């Protein structure tokens, strides 16, 4: 049970900008967004990444799913190197690695109904599946995420924020992935809805034996969700440890400051 499913080794990610507003003669300005980041996630576990805005959390997520190239280091999924693969070689891992996004409504195509949205990954990867099978799988997964199967023909704007996030979760689960990156999955939701979605994610993790990389700036949510936590600041890893240690025995001053800034009720 404790094999690492994902290993990230010393990765750096750079953004290059081609023109500078202030210094138009400067070309190809390189900005290092994350530097020397290393971590592992064991099967069935959750690693939380916490850090302020701009600390590089989403950059790490995008590097893992290979929509951003890394400048150095390596990323392994189940012992296979997946960093900087070309799209064709990456395709077989796309089924196993999925992502849940921050803004549920914006991440859903407004012109597609729920059935089309949820089934799209399935019909893309398995074009030979027949309509009946697809519909059955979609209805099954809708039930698993707490949506009513008879809502299959409705459009995203007809749902609440929490329901839209459930649609996004259903879409990410339809291919039966092993590993899911959740990038601030509840931060755009109302506090009362946040708990429901968090609990759903925990329940689904048990049911489908999922491994999560859980990105959040909310330390309470990170603590609730994660087995281990990595603290990130300005693209650098500050501390990584099990959740209990990070909260009760933080080693680093920055971590201590972050923890002391959590509002107490
Ligand atoms: N496409 C881009 N081009 C240039 N710089 C970028 C780009 N995307 C992000 N950055 C910069 O990289 C750094 C890390 O950004 P990133 O989006 O990873 O932060 P984050 O921790 O996810 O923040 P947030 O909590 O606001 O989502 C920031 O300084 C950001 O300005
Ligand atoms: Mg982000």
pLDDT at res. 265:
57
Ligand 1 centroid from CA 54, angstroms: 5
Ligand 1 atom 1 nearest Cα: 15
Is the CB–ligand 1 distance for residue 62 below 6 Å? no
- pTM for this entry: 0.94
Contact 99, 47 (CB under 8 A): no
Domain ranges of the chain: 45-71+86-260
Ligand index nearest the alpha carbon of residue 183: 2
CA dist., res. 191 & res. 263, Å (int): 14
Q: Half-sphere exposure (CA, 13 Å, Cβ side) for 34? A: 30
> For each of the chain's 265 residues, which pLDDT tens digit applies?
578 999 999 999 999 877 666 777 777 788 999 999 999 999 999 999 999 999 999 999 999 999 999 999 999 999 999 999 999 999 989 999 999 988 888 889 999 999 999 999 999 999 999 999 999 999 999 999 999 999 999 999 999 999 999 999 999 999 999 999 999 999 989 988 999 999 999 999 999 999 999 999 999 999 999 999 999 999 999 999 999 999 999 999 999 999 988 876 5
Q: Which CATH superfamily is domain 45-71+86-260 in?
A: P-loop containing nucleotide triphosphate hydrolases (3.40.50.300)
How far apart (Å, rounded) are the C-alpha atoms in residues 127 and 46?
32
């Amino acid at each position: 049970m404790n094999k690492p499913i994902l290993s990230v080794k010393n990765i750096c990610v750079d953004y290059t900008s081609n023109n500078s507003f202030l210094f138009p003669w400067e070309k190809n300005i390189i900005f290092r967004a994350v530097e020397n980041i290393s971590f592992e996630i064991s099967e069935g576990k959750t690693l939380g990444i916490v850090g302020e805005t701009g600390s590089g959390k989403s950059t790490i997520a995008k590097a893992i799913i290979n929509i951003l190239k890394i400048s150095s280091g390596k990323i392994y999924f189940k012992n296979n190197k997946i960093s900087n693969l070309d799209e064709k070689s990456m395709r077989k891992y796309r089924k196993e690695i999925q992502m849940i996004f921050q803004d549920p409504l914006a991440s859903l195509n407004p012109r597609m109904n729920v059935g089309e949205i949820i089934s799209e990954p399935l019909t893309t990867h398995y074009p030979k599946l027949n309509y009946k099978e697809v519909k059955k799988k979609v209805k099954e997964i809708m039930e698993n995420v707490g949506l009513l199967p008879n809502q299959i023909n409705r459009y995203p704007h007809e749902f609440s924020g929490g329901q839209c996030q459930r649609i996004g979760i259903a879409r990410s689960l339809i291919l039966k992935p092993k590993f899911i990156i959740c990038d601030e999955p509840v931060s755009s939701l109302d506090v009362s809805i946040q708990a429901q979605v968090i609990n759903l994610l925990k329940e689904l993790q048990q049911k489908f034996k999922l491994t999560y990389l859980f990105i959040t700036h909310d330390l309470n949510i990170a603590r609730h969700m994660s087995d281990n936590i990595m603290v990130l600041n300005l693209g650098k890893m500050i501390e990584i440890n099990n959740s209990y240690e990070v909260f009760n025995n933080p080693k680093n001053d920055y971590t201590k400051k972050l923890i002391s800034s959590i509002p107490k009720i």
